[in-house]
A and B are shown apart, each in its own frame.
Chain A
Amino acid sequence: MPDLLLELFSEEIPARMQAKAADDLRRMVTDKLVAEGLVYEGAKAFATPRRLALTVHGIPARQPDLKTERRGPKIGAPDAAVQGFLKATGLKSLDEATIQKDAKGDFYVALIEKPGRPAIDVIAEMLPVIIRTFPWPKSMRWGARSAKSGSLVWVRPLHAITATFGLETEEPDVVKFSIDGVEAGQTTYGHRFMAPGAISVRRFEDYEAKLKAAKVILDPQARKDIILEDAKELAFAQGLELVEDQVLLDEVSGLVEWPVVMMGSFEQEFLSIPDEVIRATIRNNQKCFVVKDPKTGKLTNKFVLTANIEAPDDGKTIVAGNERVIRPRLSDAKFFYETDLKTKLEDRLPKFEQIVFHEKLGTQAERIKRIERLAAEIAPLVGADVEKTRRAARLAKADLLTEVVGEFPELQGLMGKYYALAQGEDASVAAASEEHWKPQGPTDRAPTDPVSIAVALADKLDTLAGFWAIDEKPTGSKDPYALRRAALGVIRIVLENQLRIQFNLVLVWAVATFFVKKRFGVDLDDLSKIPTVDEHESKLAGPIAVVASREVTEPFNIGEVMRDVLAFFADRLKVQLREQGARHDLVDAVFSLGGQDDLLLVVRRVEALGKFLDSDDGKNLLAGTKRASNILAIEEKKDKRSFDGAPDAALYKLDEEKALAAAIDQVKREASAAVAKEDFAAAMSAMAKLRPAVDAFFDKVKVNDDDPKVRENRLKLLNEIRAATRAVADFSRIEG
């Protein structure tokens, strides 16, 4: 079967867009082929800086013929109906229709055959549409044609299109189409500098080979392999080791069509700069790899560059040029680093008073003060030294104002640690500078040192409380302040360190700070100094009292904000558990018990509940509880009342009723005792004891007894089942 070769030849495509573009091209073309009934055998797409290419092999030469039947009017139907039928189906007369029978009688049926079209024609129609609708992240217009609206947009100017279709054994045909003045043909071009001439290609095999002869390696993976292997070998030959960097490798391979790897060096004196700064300088600015000494693990004064040409002087000029560029870059970095070291971190803090964190949330200085206060509250809960925690919180963000971090934002935190150590700070205080930002994403680790944990939690909780207080919550896909990441960070820190924290006791400080600031314009600790604050309001200083003052709604209701933030944690926890393949509905079942603010306990309870529900006892109990709930719901609706309150033992008529009542009593007691001891497995085992009694009850007892008193009592008993299970979870929130 024939193959398709497609190449879109343009000016330089941004490296970061190439892989996805190749993928999109393959997907769009093959999806469309299949939609047109052209089922292909295989497809592969490629990208270089100047071209997107696609090969699809094993495409049928023609679409299959399509046969459809169309039911027409009954025999003897009025002429108008017959004419309509003929017109719609394209039949010349009823002689061309067949007659079929069904229960209602005989009717005409038209057999419509739509002959398949040659695949090449179908492809010639679909390619321009695909090109015009190609999903580049950013695209542009160019040239004289851009004077008129509707001109082609592409990532950069598109210069040539190669499109051929045909069998391996024959000369393939050009897929004829043109788009905005670019005519599809079979001419492409080699390497921009080493082989710029036109190349005539027939099909994928000779295309790839001819490109290679013209100094273009089509396959990005092949370019990556060459760069990585050559770079490793260059380093190895010197007894050194390449610092591998996948992201950089991906980018560099998208900047060259013919990778030529070479090694350069810089002055030894620059090695006094921290390795990360050297690496960031060389990587970000020059897109070069750095090289380390395998014995010490420290960087050496070598770097590896990837050129796009084989130069007649073996690249001497290129290496010398790159060295000339890297030198002043490192010189700047060294200057920045040394300048930074001259100022103590705490001396930078006043500058934060000039920097607005958020219009409605004040300056960075205010924020740091809040974090310090909150971190000091958290410290004892996580076993951190309070004074160290305070110091760490005060200094943790100071490196944002350093020159190196200004130049390389990705080094924030890390530089803070270096500078803190350089000025003789305690190791855990210094570490917090780097650690308190963590975890930054799903692959990042969570902090483990208690001081770092306290600062990290304070930082994230202050952020969450603050944005909730000003009602800037994430909506849909919009989360400009990365609040979801902050909440997930808190969850991970708590779970991975097995921390027991009652979040309401911590959150209240975070939220109350914003409340007091907004309501009275002072810091939480200065509240008592305000003479105008009446007795009631001065109680606000005690955070627990704050929660009690529920009636205060200006500028916001503290209790409500706290509930909202906790609900946000619940949501994030659900997402987290879902991603781990755990049941997220159980999170709701636990949270809806109310008062659940200890995330670690929530998760343990969810785990125990999950195991219980996997057992037969659990499944049946859940079924029984749901049945009880359903009956109650119906009867409550019927009677327009609820059936709360203790059942009357005197009204029990049957043994099964009595047995259930006894079981509920016992289970309630045992489960509550187990929960109090935080032994959720035992609480679930206790629950299991409820099951036979519930089963027997439904087996033998008719709830809607003719005696209304008995009926009411039985409904109350059912309600007790629901109540009993609430010792461990709200079963009504469990799915299934």
Chain B
Amino acid sequence: MDALPDHMRPERSFQGFILALQRFWAEQGCVILQPYDMEMGAGTFHPATTLRALGPKPWNAAYVQPSRRPKDGRYGENPNRMQHYYQFQVIMKPSPPNLQELYLKSLAAIGIDSAVHDIRFVEDDWESPTLGAWGLGWECWCDGMEVSQFTYFQQVAGVECAPVAGELTYGLERLAMYVQGVDRVYDLNFNGREGAEKVTYGDVFLQAEQEYSRHNFEYADTAMLFEQFKMAEEACRKYLAAGWREGGNQKEHLMALPAYDQCIKASHVFNLLDARGVISVTERQSYIGRVRDLAKACGEAWIHTETGRAA
């Protein structure tokens, strides 16, 4: 750590902060993935978590995932609420016995010393109705602020996790704001430089927040989105149906991943429609149920793939 140039230090730059986390988890044996190339509401949707959490084969991965929450847009006017932000996601299957210790060490790696800060594990049962998933764990507090979620997955996509995977989700902007000591996300130092060379989070994302807020709340084409939802739903079912094969003495599936992409798509389109306020309270439940049905069918397919099933 001492060898790091100043502008790469996690407490100085947002990118240094991300790199420090990646480096830490790489050292724990995780594969460091890049973000999934689709819009999604949370890092959990990444197939590296949703699908890889299923099945008996070990899997350790970490990655940054841009998270799109269309409803949370505030036209760049709220100091910490955005429709696009970063999550850092770690998944370890099976959950190692020292996962809590590893998590605390990762905090130390980004400059949060548990001798000075009050770190707490506060009950938080996680449930994702759209993914048909639930787990038990905590929200992790640092001096009264929720900085991460810590979950032992019990079920994902309607499938019992065997073995259980441990999942960590860090809210990167919030943590970096705390470490850098700024109160407004757009004031985060992104590249760790000063003066003319300094690039802030606002320089990178403020305009995007304004534009997407406009899009999400006012202009997103709802007729098209309703159509897209249907198309994604149909495509998902079509690919799922086409993927089944009778192989050897068991059924196998050959297209779980492309089908799951359509499930991700449907979920994001639903979130956009929700932000546009065109889905009523009763319909809402039914849309969530439709996405969940897709997720479950994908999970079922996945555990019949080469990677998803027992050896």
Q: Which residues of A contact B (CB under 8 A)?
A: 11-12, 14-16, 49, 138-149, 155-157, 159, 193, 255-256, 286-288, 305, 307-309, 311-313, 317-318, 320-322, 324-328, 354-356, 359
* 16 pairs from A and B in contact (CB 8 Å cutoff): A12-B122, A12-B123, A140-B135, A141-B152, A142-B95, A143-B97, A143-B164, A146-B161, A156-B136, A256-B120, A307-B118, A311-B115, A317-B117, A324-B178, A324-B183, A354-B280
Asked if B172 is an interface residue, CB under 8 A from chain A, the answer is no
How many residues of B are in contact with the other chain, CB < 8 A? 39
For B135, the closest partner residue in chain A by CB is A140
A residues in contact with B282, CB < 8 Å:
356, 359
| Residue B40 CB within 8 A of the other chain | no
A156 surroundings in chain B (CB, below 8 A): 136-137, 152
Contact status B100-A11, CB under 8 Å: yes
B241 contacts chain A at the CB level, 8 A cutoff: no
Interface string of B104-126 (1 = CB under 8 A from A): 00000000001111111111010
Q: Are B144 and A142 in contact (CB under 8 A)?
A: no
- Is the CB–CB distance between B142 and A142 below 8 Å? no
Which residues of chain B come closer than 8 Å to A147, judged between CB atoms?
56, 94, 162-163
Verify if B258 is at the interface (C-beta below 8 Å from A): no
Q: Give the CA-CA distance A156 to B151 in the complex, in Å.
A: 10
In the bound complex, residues from chain B placing their C-beta under 8 Å from that of A307 are 118
Q: Known: A143-B96, A149-B162, A356-B282. Contact between A321 and B145, CB under 8 A? A: yes
A497 to chain B, nearest CB (A): 36
Cβ distance B303 to chain A, nearest Cβ, rounded Å: 13
Contact across chains for B144 and A305 when beta carbons are under 8 A apart: yes
Write out the residue numbers on chain A whose beta carbons fall within 8 Å of the beta carbon of B116. Answer: 311-313, 317-318
Q: Which residues of A contact B145 (CB under 8 A)?
A: 321, 324-325
Complex CA distance for A322 and B143, rounded to whole angstroms: 5
Q: Which residues in window 165-199 of B have CB below 8 A to A?
A: 166, 178, 183
On whether the beta carbons of A12 and B118 are closer than 8 Å, the reply is no
Assuming the contacts A141-B164, A321-B178, asked whether A328 and B80 have C-beta atoms less than 8 A apart, the reply is yes
* List of B residues within 8 angstroms of A317 by Cβ: 116-117, 143
Give the CA-CA distance A312 to B113 in the complex, in Å. Answer: 11
- Alpha-carbon gap, A592 to B121, bound state (A): 58
Verify A328–B79 contact, CB threshold 8 A.
yes
Q: Which of A11, A312, A320 has the most CB of B within 10 A?
A: A11
Expressed in whole angstroms, the Cα–Cα distance for A145 and B95 within the complex equals 10
Which residues in A have their C-beta under 8 angstroms from that of B144? 286-288, 305, 321-322, 325-326
* Bound complex: CA A305 to CA B281 (Å): 38
Q: Are A143 and B95 in contact (CB under 8 A)?
A: yes
Contact A318–B95 (Cβ < 8 Å): no
The answer to whether A140 touches B163, judged by C-beta atoms less than 8 angstroms apart, is no
A193 CA / B101 CA spacing, docked (Å):
10
Chain B residues, CB < 8 A from A305: 144
CA distance A327 to B80 in the complex (A): 13
The docked-state distance in angstroms from the alpha carbon of A14 to that of B123 is 5
- In the complex the two chains form, what is the Cα distance from A143 to B165 in whole Å? 7
* Given the contacts A15-B123, A255-B122, A324-B183, A144 and B117 also touching, CB distance less than 8 Å: no
Query: Shortest CB–CB separation between residue B137 and chain A, in angstroms?
Result: 8
Nearest CB on A from B92, distance (A): 10
Q: Is B271 part of the binding interface, using a Cβ–Cβ cutoff of 8 Å?
A: no
Instruction: Contact check, A144 vs B123: say whether CB atoms are below 8 A apart.
Output: no
Whether B117 contacts A321 by the Cβ 8 Å rule is yes
Write out, one digit per residue, whether chain B residues 134-159 have a CB within 8 A of any chain A CB (1) or not (0): 01111000111100000010100000
| Interchain CB contact under 8 A, B178 and A141 | no
Residues of B within 8 A of A148 (CB): 162
Contacts of B154 in A (CB 8 A): 140-141
Contact A140 B123 (CB under 8 A): no
- Please measure, in the bound complex, the distance between the C-alpha atom of A497 and the C-alpha atom of B281, giving whole angstroms: 39
Measured CA separation A138–B137 after assembly (Å): 11
CA distance A16 to B122 in the complex (A): 11
Complex contacts, B56 vs chain A, CB 8 Å: 147
Task: Give B96's nearest chain A residue, CB to CB.
Answer: A143
**Cβ-closest 5 pairs across A and B:** A321-B143, A14-B123, A147-B163, A12-B121, A322-B144
**Cα–Cα distance between A318 and B143 once the two chains are bound (Å):** 5
The docked-state distance in angstroms from the alpha carbon of A255 to that of B80 is: 27
Q: Could you say which residues of chain B place their CB within 8 Å of the CB of A49?
A: 121
Nearest A-chain residue to B56, judged by Cβ:
A147
A58 to B121, CA, bound (A): 37
Chain A residue at smallest Cβ distance from B125: A138
Chain A residue nearest to B114 (CB atoms) is: A193
Complexed CA–CA distance, A320 and B178 (Å): 11
Contact among B94, B114, B119, B183 with A328 in the assembled complex (CB-CB below 8 Å):
B183
Q: Which residues of A contact B118 (CB under 8 A)?
A: 307-309, 311, 318, 321
In the assembled complex, how far is the CB of residue A563 from the closest CB belonging to chain B, in whole angstroms? 33
CB <8 Å contact, A144 and B135? no
Residues on B with beta carbons closer than 8 Å to the beta carbon of A320 = 143
Asked whether A138 and B136 contact (CB < 8 A) given A312-B115, A321-B144, A326-B144, the answer is yes
Please state if B125 and A193 are interface contacts (CB–CB under 8 Å). no
Which residues of chain B have C-beta atoms less than 8 A from A159's C-beta?
Answer: 97
Closest-by-CB residue of B relative to A155 is: B136
What CA separation (Å) do A537 and B94 show in the bound complex?
Answer: 70
Q: Kindly state the separation between the CA atoms of A484 and B43 in the bound complex, as whole angstroms.
A: 43
Contact B163 A145 (CB under 8 A): yes
Q: How far is the CA of A326 from the CA of B145 in the complex (A)?
A: 9
What residues of B have a CB within 8 angstroms of the CB of A11 in the complex?
100, 121
